[in-house]
Amino acid sequence: MATERDGAVGLGDVLSVVRTHGPLTRADVALRTGLGRSTVALRLEALAERDLIRPAEGRPSTGGRPASTFAFNPSAGVVLAVELAATNAHLAVTDLDGTVLEAADSAIAIADGPSTVLAIVERLGGELLRALGGRRRRRPLAVGIGVPGPVEYATGRPVSPPIMPGWDGYDIVGKLAAAFDAPVLVDNGVNLMALAEHADRWQQADNLLFVKAGTGIGCAIVAGGRIFRGSQGAAGEIGHIAVRDHDDLCVCGNVGCLEAVVGTVALVRGARARGLEIDGPRDLVELVKRHDPVAVSLTRDSGRVFGEVLAALVNALNPGVVVLGGELATAEPFSAGLRELVYQRAAPLASQHLQIVPSQLGDRAGTRGAAMVAIEHALDVAALAA
Amino acid sequence: MATERDGAVGLGDVLSVVRTHGPLTRADVALRTGLGRSTVALRLEALAERDLIRPAEGRPSTGGRPASTFAFNPSAGVVLAVELAATNAHLAVTDLDGTVLEAADSAIAIADGPSTVLAIVERLGGELLRALGGRRRRRPLAVGIGVPGPVEYATGRPVSPPIMPGWDGYDIVGKLAAAFDAPVLVDNGVNLMALAEHADRWQQADNLLFVKAGTGIGCAIVAGGRIFRGSQGAAGEIGHIAVRDHDDLCVCGNVGCLEAVVGTVALVRGARARGLEIDGPRDLVELVKRHDPVAVSLTRDSGRVFGEVLAALVNALNPGVVVLGGELATAEPFSAGLRELVYQRAAPLASQHLQIVPSQLGDRAGTRGAAMVAIEHALDVAALAA
């Protein structure tokens, strides 16, 4: 409950309504926050001092002189957004609206461990920030980073991440906070992609499932606009769920794991066994696009197997929307096979209004989500400290 | 944000802190709510007028005269709690602490449809309320009722409930509200059981999974103390998830559904096929207790199959606690087989701190949960109306 204990009460609320609904007059802000007009004036002044809001064009008045209005100022600072995948890193510097100002990609090997990989992030991030030149403040207000494995959310440390040797328990926050002199938010990359897709297109969906099908298999559950993390931050680790009628040995030591059957590594191996001469998953996707019957058939089967597991998740969670991301999601036979099995196996009540859609943000979903959490954190801190 | 728009601000908060932490002095209440002392005095007076709080014994003072203290008055009213299962109904009248004052069971057939079944609820509920005699107000402040199927939470109407023919879309709220002249809260019975187990013993667990294994198979997901319902209120409908290596035809028309393989109907059929002369699941559980090897083996296998599906849910949701309820959970070989497969198939990170425990409330979990939601609703309404 809000009480008038200190001078900052309502600051976050004022910032929030101006950001969401601005430009607004003082009277608009008072109406939307329930704060008194004198308090609103003080809060707006404090936010203007921090450059977070600025005077906007006067709105057409119904008579008399136009009232002054205030708008959020997305140029008050920048954030650095990072997505680390198994073999590459995406980085972006955005303003406080999430608009990308500078961006870069780099090949990495996540298995090289945190020292090597984060040195690349520091170097590349530093270059992007310097590239802003005199236009912006070069110190980011916050850094958001997604990694390809489970993260203990409270500390930002990876926990037993299967494809990240050397990263278990590593203090990513400490390392990057020192490098960029800014607060650092770490999360599982799939969670960040899910948040970005939800914010971008599916804000009205209370329950959204984001599934990623590529080298790694994962999912994220968005409920009421927030990530469902589970007890150890491991919710969504669906790659080792057992699938029917398959006994392939998985790297985890079990047999019949989803990832061992439908991941791109398994798919490429299966394609080679069927005589296709391909180097990696991109070649396979390419063959699929050229309607190679073997490639199409294998990819569709892979989607069917994934679809059976997804049907189980749809029954258990009854999401309104399933967003498909990752390399395989771009292959039409994969999503066709997946849909086929979901609609065959999910309970009618859970599937009758279900939408299964491809990711809209594609390979930018991760950095967009990372920027989002960095911005939210930066504005929270600004509101508290003002 | 709370604003001083009307005279009831903080009333719910005052009631809530007195209920949770009472007996409390006015100063305690002011401290815990952040409200001014004069506001606190007014709110306490309003709640006392409605009989919801009462003066309590003075606490030992550190010197000077003892300050007056106030406690929640659980005798201010009663609620009616109802759990409908496939073949029986439990009813209880409780005070506002959830203490059972009167209770009754009745054999029903849920498939007889709402008119027949709810007529029994009305008659039996009326008898329990009249049995309170002059001791209590006979009109319940609210009615909570659990049904064995998915419910659209906002309207309280069952949605395509598989084992409840005739109930689809039925207005349970309207029917019972007219009968008892009280607000009515309807939910899936498994959700109510989960809420009760969580409140009773696992309040510290952020994520709890309650699974019910009996004639029907279901589960409920408690996240942050609340039920995760999904888009159509169908979350937790796991009975028709496909299991490995089984092709039994299910009533839903698919093959290999969990319910068709491990539900008590399937289990009893399998036991008869193996030569056991039993009438129903209770006979089977009885044979298991007498260490009949065929019954033990069948039940353990059933637990293993359930465990494989549960392992998938544990991977996807990473719960801290799994509570086992329903008839089969009382058979030790069932839970042993289930544990075996969960610890074999769930990801180490998701299972290393996982507790799998039997329901503590047993067949009272449903009415306890129904009473809880009725009480919360009644107190919310009282706080708003005071």
> Are residue A248 and residue A169 in the same domain, yes or no?
no
Low-confidence residues of chain A, pLDDT below 50? 1-6, 386
**Residue B177 pLDDT > 90:** yes
pLDDT, tens digit, for every residue of B328-346? Answer: 988 999 999 999 999 999 9
Where do the DSSP E strands lie in chain B? 24-25, 53-56, 69-72, 79-84, 88-94, 100-107, 142-147, 151-152, 157-158, 184-188, 207-213, 217-223, 226-227, 321-325, 355-358
State the pLDDT at residue B3.
Answer: 41
Rounded-to-integer distance, Cα A54 and Cα A174, Å:
34
Position A4 in a domain: no
For residue B107 the two structure tokens come to 């054999």
Domains of chain B: total: 3
Alpha carbon distance B158, B167 (integer Å): 6
Q: Identify from A39, A190, A318 which residue to disrupt to test chain B contact, counting B C-beta atoms within 10 A and taking the largest count.
A: A318
Give the minimum alpha-carbon distance from A163 to chain B in angstroms, rounded to a whole number: 14
Long-range interactions of A111-115: CB distance < 8 A, separation 24+: A111/A86, A111/A163, A111/A164, A111/A165, A111/A166, A112/A166, A113/A165, A113/A166, A113/A167, A114/A166, A114/A167, A114/A170, A114/A172, A114/A175
Same domain, B180 and B63: no
B150 contacts A238? CB cut-off 8 A: no
pLDDT given at position A235: 92
Residue B23, both tokens: 């007996």
Flag if A34 and B254 touch (Cβ within 8 Å).
no
In a domain, A5, yes or no: no
pLDDT at B211 (0 to 100): 96
- Considering the domain boundaries, does residue B84 fall inside one? yes
Tell me which of A37, A212, A241 to substitute to probe the interface with B (most B C-beta atoms closer than 10 Å). Answer: A241
Q: Are residues B326 and B258 in the same domain?
A: yes
B85-121 per-position pLDDT tens digit: 988 999 999 999 999 999 999 999 999 999 999 999 9
Q: What is the pLDDT of residue B88?
A: 92
Q: For residue B246, what is the DSSP state?
A: -
Q: Is residue B123 domain-shared with residue B163, that is, in the same domain?
A: yes
ipTM of the assembly?
0.84
Query: What percentage of chain B carries pLDDT values higher than 90?
Result: 60
In a domain, B294, yes or no: yes
State the residue range of the domain holding B24: 11-72
Kindly determine whether residue A160 and residue B236, on different chains, have CB atoms separated by under 8 Å: no
pLDDT per residue as tens digits for the range B29-61: 888 888 888 888 888 988 998 889 988 865 555
**Residue B188 resides in a domain:** yes
Does residue A227 share a domain with residue A120? no
Q: How far apart are the C-alpha atoms of B291 and B286, rounded to whole Å?
A: 9
Residue type, A292: D
Backbone angles phi, psi at B101, to 5 degrees: -100, -40
∠ CA B203-B209-B213, nearest 5°, is 125
Query: What strands lie across the sheet with A217-223, from one edge to the other?
Result: A226-228, A217-223, A207-213, A321-325, A355-358
Tokens of B276: 């056991």
Cβ neighbours for A178, distance < 8 A, ≥ 6 positions apart: none
Partner-chain contact B348 A243, CB within 8 Å: no
Are B291 and B253 members of one domain? Answer: yes
Q: Does residue A57 share a domain with residue A93?
A: no
Q: Please state, rounded to an integer, the average pLDDT across all residues of chain A.
A: 89
Residues from chain A contacting residue B244 (CB–CB below 8 Å): 242-245, 256
Same domain, residue pair B142 and B188: yes
Judge if A151 and A181 occupy the same domain: yes
Q: Tell me: do A124 and A265 sit in the same domain.
A: no
Q: Residue written as tokens 């859609």? A: A357
The residue from A72, A101, A119 where one domain ends is: A72
The residue in chain A having the minimum alpha-carbon distance to the alpha carbon of residue B217 is A316
Nearest by CB to B308, from A242, A345, A352: name it.
A242
CATH of the domain at A262: 3.30.420.40
Please tell me which residue of chain B has the smallest CA distance to A342: B241
- Do B229 and B310 fall within a single domain? yes
In a domain, B141, yes or no: yes
* Mean pLDDT of chain B, nearest integer: 89
Ranking A169-173, A307-311, B227-231, B302-306 by mean pLDDT, the lowest is B227-231
Q: Which residue has the higher pLDDT, A386 or B228?
A: B228
Is B315's pLDDT higher than 50? yes
What's the confidence (pLDDT) of residue A6?
46
pLDDT value for A60: 54
Can you tell me the distance from the alpha carbon of B126 to that of B139, in angstroms, rounded to the nearest whole number? 9
In tens, the pLDDT along B148-173 reads 988 988 899 998 887 889 999 999 99
Of A47, A72, A97, the position where a domain reaches its end is A72
DSSP B290-330: TT-HHHHHHHHHHHHHHHHHHHHHHHHH--SEEEEESGGGG
Cross-strand bridge partners of residue B217 = B213
| Nearest in space to A341 (alpha carbons), one of A296, A311, A302 | A311
Inter-chain touch B34–A150, beta carbons under 8 Å: no
The answer to whether B153 touches B165, Cβ cutoff 8 Å, is: no
In this prediction the pTM is 0.86
B123 against B153, higher pLDDT: B123
What pLDDT, on a 0 to 100 scale, did the predictor assign at position A154? Answer: 85
Classify residue A1: in a domain, yes or no: no
pLDDT beyond 90 at B67: no
For residue B383, the model assigns a pLDDT of 65
Residues B208 and B322 in one domain: yes
Query: According to DSSP H, which parts of chain A are helical?
Result: 11-21, 26-33, 37-49, 114-131, 172-180, 189-201, 258-262, 264-273, 281-289, 293-317, 332-345, 348-351, 365-385
Please check the confidence at residue B5 and state whether its pLDDT lies above 70: no
Tens of pLDDT, residue by residue over B257-278, are: 999 999 888 899 999 999 999 9
**Surface-to-core class of residue B155, CB atoms within 10 Å of its CB (0-12 exposed, 13-18 middle, 19+ buried):** middle
**B232 contacts in A (CB within 8 Å)?**
318, 349-350, 352-353
Residue whose entry in the numeric block shows the structure tokens 């090949």: A107
What is the reported pLDDT for B125?
A: 97
Q: Is the C-alpha dihedral spanning A235, A239, A241, A243 positive or negative?
A: positive
A318·B219 Cβ contact <8 A:
no
Question: How far is Cα A21 from Cα A29, in angstroms, rounded to an integer?
Answer: 9
What chain A residue is nearest to B347 in terms of C-alpha separation?
A240
